Structure 1
């Protein structure tokens, strides 16, 4: 009896790329180590991607798509502005499936030296700030500085996280409570 392994799809490689990126950074996104980890040949990699740059672009495109999709999901799942703000804060500081935990920090690090990554980050940040702007406008907190402060703080939690989700959530709750207290003052 012959043991036939299921052929890897392009999507399998991209998902592995996102997971590898989140755990080891962009310098680990290379055909040979990924092939070894996936227990296949580099030929499988090059069957789906013309070169490493094509793979990198595919991984960044998927990160961008999933990040933007998460915003759309959030806008549909919470009716109140406070609920949307809380969900936005939770998801930005600790992304949910299908985004791997901790993915934003390595993408942002990559963006410092890669134009394609920088464009993806700029697109996602613009959409996040626009989404946050709508929430804060609904809360009668339209000051653009609040948008920048909240967005930057939430990115910081994801970047500087000590893996103590409870402590992060407590700090995020304090930030949001302070912001909402301004509205009520």
Structure 2
């Protein structure tokens, strides 16, 4: 009996493209190279995408949906109060499995890509703005005075980005450090969730 081949989805290609991005930068996002990694023909690529620029645009849209919009929706649907949502947001952001996308460095790779590509730059800018606005709103709902909310948001978000860039840091280390920072920002003690 012959083994049936698994049909690849556009998400399979997008995940492989992110792995290529992490391994070799935006110039590594090539249909032929990704097809080799997936052990399929290039024809499979063209079934899902018009060309490599179309793949790149779908990668950025996918990242915005999965790494921002879906997380915000998950946190909002948790039933937690605003402080609880902040803690949950840190937990989700530091526990998300990014292996299929190239690992913990995928966000750094996207940010680096944004330094050289207008579409990637705009996607990073949009994601940063949406994430910062969301965290600012949560801090505001916790009773933090308005001028501090934006600053606290940048401190928490910037710390997440920076901690991901530090070598040798585990998910547990990043989460612990961010939760400690959140405790400090919310007044030095854990706010009841």
Q: Shared fold by TM > 0.5?
A: yes
The alpha-carbon distance between structure 1 residues 36 and 61, as it changes in their structure 2 partners (threshold 3 A), is same
- The match for 1:115 among 118, 127, 134 is 118
Q: How does 1:74-85 map to 2 (within 5 A)?
A: 74-85=75-86
Corresponding residue to 1:167 among 173, 179, 183 = 173
- Give the 3 Å change call, closer, same or farther, for CA 6–169 of structure 1 in structure 2: closer
Number of equivalent positions: 184
Report the secondary structure of 1:77's partner residue.
coil
Q: Distance in 2 between matches of 1:165 and 1:97?
A: 11
TM-score relative to the length of structure 2: 0.82
Structure-to-structure mapping, 1:145-156, within 5 angstroms? 145-156=151-162
Work out whether residues 93 and 158 of structure 1, in 8 Å CA contact, stay in contact via their aligned partners in 2: no
Match of 2:132?
129
What are the residue-to-residue correspondences of 1:2-21 with 2, within 5 Å?
4-21=4-21
Alpha-carbon distance, 1:8 to partner: 2.5
**Residues 15-24 or 61-70, more deviating:** 15-24
More off after superposition, 11-20 vs 145-154: 11-20
Which residue of structure 2 aligns with residue 36 of structure 1?
36
Query: For residues 79 and 2 of structure 1, do their structure 2 counterparts lie closer, same or farther at Cα, with a shift above 3 Å needed?
Result: closer
Deviations 1:3-60 (A, max 9, x none): 5523323232123223443455433221111111111112221232222111111111
How much has 1:135 moved relative to structure 2? 0.9
Against the structure 1 CA distance between its residues 27 and 86, is the aligned structure 2 distance closer, same or farther, given a 3 Å change threshold? Answer: farther
Structure 2: 5+ residue runs without aligned partners?
A: none
Moved more, 19-28 or 128-137: 19-28
- After superposition, the C-alpha distances for 1:44-86 in whole angstroms (9 at most, x for unaligned) are 2123222211111111111111121111111111412222111
Paired residues for 1:13-92 under 5 Å: 13-22=13-22, 24-67=24-67, 68-92=69-93
List runs of 5+ in structure 1 lacking aligned partners.
Answer: none
CA distance in 2, matches of 1:183, 1:98: 34
Coordinate RMSD, CA, aligned: 2.5
